Structure 1
Amino acid sequence: MRSLRQFDLNLLVVFVTLMRERHVTRAAEALHLSQPALSHALKRLRELLNDPLLVRTEAGMQPTPRALYLLPSVQQALKLLEEGLAPPERFEPAKSRRRFVLATTDYFEEVMYPTFLSQLLAYAPEIGFSVELITPDVLSEGLEQRHVDMVVGLDSQAVLPVGVSQRPWMREELVCLAARDNTRVGEALTLEQFAAQRHVELADISGLRPSNIDNCLTQHALTRRVISKNLNYIAAARVVALTDAIMTLPRQMAERFLPILPVRLVAPPEELPSLTMTLIQHELYAHEPPIVWLEQQLRAFANGFLNNGLANKE
């Protein structure tokens, strides 16, 4: 037999069909080919395999010993190809026990995750989630090595590792938080007044994100003083409540502190950008049915979250 590189694999389908039909016209009809095309394919098979394969006898066309010897191997090869090329199995959330690992922000975990999980469990009762912090290792290695399925809620990134992609997910209005007795700020701030305040912010645990707020101030030849960088919103909000510093954060998160801390909302400068949250994943696994399903659920939840007035969308 000649090199496989010289062998048209479509001829294997012709071979199996001929062995089954043992009739050129019927094989051509089964393959939706013309009889001349099928006869040409048989000629090519005979040349490549150096064997007549089918011979006319008193009982009709009969396979040669060589053809009968090849048939099981060819059938098995075609079966393996069909199985390998078949679409991946459909993900069935109602039956799945898949555990997803999400790396996410305080905002998503506090504001959205409990409701998101409770809604999913109503029709996917056996699935589970693990929630982790977003770290540089998650973005550089965790996604590629499948330690994390998706990064949820991180602000848009200018630079990400090779193979890691981000897609816009939802936007949230930013507000400022100040202590109730903070006399340094009124109900709203201009950009100059904003820059003049002392600030509390969250530490950038991702290791990649430049501060969009600082970028905005730089564009207007302004800077600010950050007196405290905290790992979570509640600690940062408590610092705000006890000092004359302000904090800039998503509205839905800020409103959670109003009943429990002596703080108030302050309108930020119009120039500040909104929070553009993303879904980040590795392209190696982005088309796997469970990951496609997870992204669809997150997008549907975000749309409902916004449409129900729970967050503000630009």
Structure 2
Amino acid sequence: MRLLRQFDLNLLLVFVTLMHERHVTRAAEKLHLSQPAISHALKRLREALDDPLLVRTEQGMQPTPRAQALLPVVQQALAVLQEGLTPPVSFAPLTSTRRFTLATTDYFEEVMYPAFLSRLLAKAPGISFAIELITPEVLSNALESRQVDMVVGVDSRIALPGGVVKTAWLDEAWVCLSALDNPDIGARLSLAAFAQASHVELADISGLGPTPIDHCLEQHGLGRRVISQNLNYLAAARVVALTGAIMTLPRRMAERFISLLPVRLVEAPVELGALTMTLAQHELYAKEPAIAWLHAELLAFADTVRATG
């Protein structure tokens, strides 16, 4: 190890080339270096290894026994280094049987995932997916331990642990859902009227903290009365259809219930802004070909969603 600390490993390439060419000028041309540079490198090699290595004879430069013994060892070492430093094989969608695990929201799974899966299976027919809920444990441990490949749709406000990186993905407008015959809810709600209404919401089983809606109300010194917490959007929408309560949800999800239930869309307060969703992945694996491919596909899918309105 002491010798390695003092040895310039770049000299090994010069050594192998000199052994093959047996000529300083030709070795310089091969390595795109000057002849003096190769001569200097040979001098350093001789000093470091305490051996002349190549000696001028009537038949040209000839290797010493030490040089001949070193050549296969150095060639093998360089081959191992070359293999280790070579970029990983690119992901081959057509032949891959990779199983991806995504942690995501009910919204993505219901509204986006079917179309996304169909799009990907056309390109990669052998891949498959498992869907999990976004939780603090997923963000803090599962990404790092590779139990989850990527988190899709996490609110941009959520703080992420070290090593987890996020990419802006998709924004979705908030809208409210009201019973079709609800006389107390107009076509648009002010923030004050929104806070005064009764609400239905999804139960917080993620443990990620206050929703963007509650966060906005808190910033304005307001709160709301939630009369029902439900486990899924459809059950919550059914409650809205039969009560005077409203529900706040992403527009594309809300639009699904218009033809299913006696409900209507109501424009949400402008103060609520939009749901800003991100992709989250662990920096350890971001450059892995399969993960990089999936990340690119999710970004391209978001572009398609935006283009189709």
Give yes or no for TM over 0.5: yes
Report TM bin, short chain: over 0.9
Shift of 1:139: 1.2
Taking the aligned partners of 2:223 and 2:8, their CA distance within structure 1 comes to: 68
Q: Does 1:93 align with 2:78?
A: no
Q: Matches of residues 268-279 of structure 1 in structure 2 within 5 Å?
A: 268-279=268-279
TM-score, length of structure 2 as denominator length: 0.96
Shift of 1:196: 0.3
| Aligned length, in residue pairs | 309
Taking the aligned partners of 1:67 and 1:2, their CA distance within structure 2 comes to: 20
Tell me which amino acid in the other structure corresponds to 2:203.
Answer: A
Shift of 1:158: 3.6
Tell me which amino acid in the other structure corresponds to 2:261.
Answer: L
Moved more, 228-237 or 268-277: 228-237
Taking the aligned partners of 2:243 and 2:163, their CA distance within structure 1 comes to: 43
Tell me which amino acid in the other structure corresponds to 1:141.
Answer: N
- 1:298 maps to 298
- 1:312 maps to none
Calculate the aligned-residue CA RMSD, in Å.
1.4
Q: Does the aligned pair in 1 maintain the 2:135–2:208 contact within 8 Å?
A: no
State the SS of the aligned residue for 2:270.
Answer: coil
State the SS of the aligned residue for 1:148.
Answer: coil
Tell me which amino acid in the other structure corresponds to 2:155.
Answer: D
- 1:109 maps to 109
Taking the aligned partners of 2:187 and 2:274, their CA distance within structure 1 comes to: 19
Tell me which amino acid in the other structure corresponds to 1:150.
Answer: M
- 2:10 maps to 10
Point out where structure 1 has 5 or more consecutive residues left out of the alignment. 310-314
TM-score, length of structure 1 as denominator length: 0.94
Q: Does the aligned pair in 1 maintain the 2:95–2:126 contact within 8 Å?
A: yes
- 1:137 maps to 137
CA-to-aligned-CA distance 1:212-253 (integer Å, 9 cap, x gap): 212222222211112233332122212222322211001110
Taking the aligned partners of 2:137 and 2:2, their CA distance within structure 1 comes to: 50
Q: Does the aligned pair in 1 maintain the 2:172–2:250 contact within 8 Å?
A: yes
Moved more, 177-186 or 276-285: 177-186
Tell me which amino acid in the other structure corresponds to 1:235.
Answer: A
Residues 167 and 203 of structure 1: CA distance in aligned 2, closer, same or farther (over 3 Å):
farther
Q: Does 1:262 align with 2:283?
A: no
Shift of 1:208: 2.4
Point out where structure 2 has 5 or more consecutive residues left out of the alignment. none
State the SS of the aligned residue for 1:126.
Answer: coil
Moved more, 22-31 or 1-10: 1-10
Q: Does the aligned pair in 2 maintain the 1:103–1:151 contact within 8 Å?
A: yes
- 1:162 maps to 162
Q: Does 1:193 align with 2:188?
A: no
Q: Matches of residues 1-314 of structure 1 in structure 2 within 5 Å?
A: 3-309=3-309
CA-to-aligned-CA distance 1:135-159 (integer Å, 9 cap, x gap): 2221111111101100111221341
Residues 2 and 150 of structure 1: CA distance in aligned 2, closer, same or farther (over 3 Å):
closer
Task: Work out the percentage of aligned pairs sharing the same amino acid.
Answer: 70
Q: Does the aligned pair in 2 maintain the 1:136–1:205 contact within 8 Å?
A: no
